[in-house]
Each structure stands twice: as C-alpha cells, then as structure tokens.
Amino acid sequence: MPKFLLAALGAVLISATGCTSAMNLLAGEPLSNPEGARIAQAPGIDGQFEWSGAQASVQGRTTIVARTQEQWENLWQLAATPAPGPLPEGWMGIGVFLGMRQTAGYGVAIENIAEQVTTDRQFIEQGLPASRELVVSYGERAPEPGAMTAQVLTSPYVIRIVRRDDSPIRFAQTR
C-alpha cells in the first residue's frame, strides 16, 4: 500500500509541475527552475528567510531595517525572541510590527519588495542623479467580521532577510 501512495504522489507531482521538476524533486535533487536555483544558492538562516509571530514587545506600528549585526539583534529584541542566528554577510533584515491588537487572529505579511527609481526633469536638467529607493509593501490580515477570536492582546510581526541594499527604504501598507 505505501508504494501505491508514493506512485500516486509521483503521478500528481509530474502532472502538476512537469516532468523535469517533479523527477528532480522525487530524486531528492534541487528544483531546476531559476527561482529554485536562486533560493538554493542563498544562505538564509537554517534554510529560512522569513519569520513571523503574534507576541512582539512592540505596542505601536513599527518598521525597521537591520543592516548590521547589532541592528539585527535589536530587531529581534522587538520581536521578544532570540535571533535565529547571525545576520548572513551581504544580507539585511526587514521587520514590520503591527503593534497591539485587542484579539487573536491578526497577522502581517510582506507582500512585495521592489526597486523604485524616480526621475525629476528639473534634477536631470541640472545633472543630478535620479533617486532610488526600495519599497517594501506589506499587508495586515484581520479576523473575519463575526469570527470567534480569543480576547487576548497580540502584537503581530514579520521579519524577512533579503540581499543587502544601501538605498533608502520606504514601507507601504497595501491593506
């Protein structure tokens, strides 16, 4: 019976993802797609790039960028938990803290990180460079109206590591 289940799982994977990716996965090899290859080469921290929780020590909405080890440790102090490891060389941490919520069921997610280049005609005419920034878009998840939730104070957060970029960073709430 277990062989039948494994064969069925293999058939589903092959039909869902295409032959090459599924065969690599079943053989224990990394995925051959560009995204999989890029993630496989990135160090992460014990294979992770993002952490979230509901009990940060932050009472108000806070966004933070950690480019140094000291800043990385301070970011995790806000999360009220020890850092999962040292900040990898060439990476930075980004944290979004929602602040205090009156019930359970809230969460936050980093939805997109994009480079934005702004050119102003007057600046270009004067020979000044365009401005460049990273925009971190995040969204708040709230409990459905009428949902039963625990009446407990929470403080949701999300922390992600990304390749280091020394550009200014702007946080934008999308929902």
30 and 95 inside one domain: no
Q: What are the tokens at 65? A: 């960028």
Let me know whether 152 and 71 are in one domain: yes
pLDDT at residue 42 in the model: 52
Quick check: helix, strand or coil at residue 61? coil
Specify whether 100 is located in the same domain as 88.
Answer: yes
- pLDDT, residue 30, reads 43
Q: Give yes or no for a contact between 105 and 145, defined as CB atoms under 8 angstroms apart.
A: no
Biggest CA–CA distance in the chain, Å, is 74
Q: In this predicted model, what pLDDT tens digit does every residue of 76-107 receive, in sequence order?
A: 999 999 999 999 999 999 999 999 999 999 99
| Number of structural domains in the chain | 2
Please state, in angstroms and rounded to a whole number, the distance separating the CA atoms of residues 93 and 67. 7
Mean pLDDT of 98-126: 85
**Entry pTM:** 0.69
Looking at per-residue confidence, does 114 or 32 come out higher? 114
Strand ranges, E, within the chain: 50-53, 62-66, 91-97, 107-118, 131-141, 157-163, 169-173
CB within 8 A of 173, min separation 6: which ones? 137, 138, 139, 140
Residue 134 or 17, more confident: 134
Q: Do 66 and 13 fall within a single domain?
A: no
- Residues 64-73 have a mean pLDDT of 96
φ/ψ of residue 48, rounded to 5:
-105, 150
Contact 132, 169 (CB under 8 A): no
Q: Does residue 62 sit in the same domain as residue 142? A: yes
Nearest to 92 by CA among 166, 157, 41, 164: 164
Mean pLDDT of 154-164: 95
Q: Identify whether residues 12 and 86 lie together within a single domain.
A: no
Q: Specify the amino acid at residue 120.
A: D
Interatomic CA distance for residues 124 and 23, integer angstroms: 52
Residue-averaged pLDDT of the chain: 78
User: In whole angstroms, what separates CA 85 from the centre of its chain?
Assistant: 16
Query: In the listed set 10, 25, 41, which residue is the last one of a domain according to the structure?
Result: 41
Question: Domain range spanning residue 62?
Answer: 45-173
Cα 15–chain centre separation: 29
Same-domain status, 112 and 150: yes
Same domain for 55 and 36: no
pLDDT (tens digit, 9 = 90+) per residue, 14-61?
Answer: 344 444 344 343 344 444 444 444 444 456 788 889 999 999 998 999
Q: Are 98 and 23 in the same domain?
A: no
Among 104, 114, 103, 51, CA closest to 78: 51
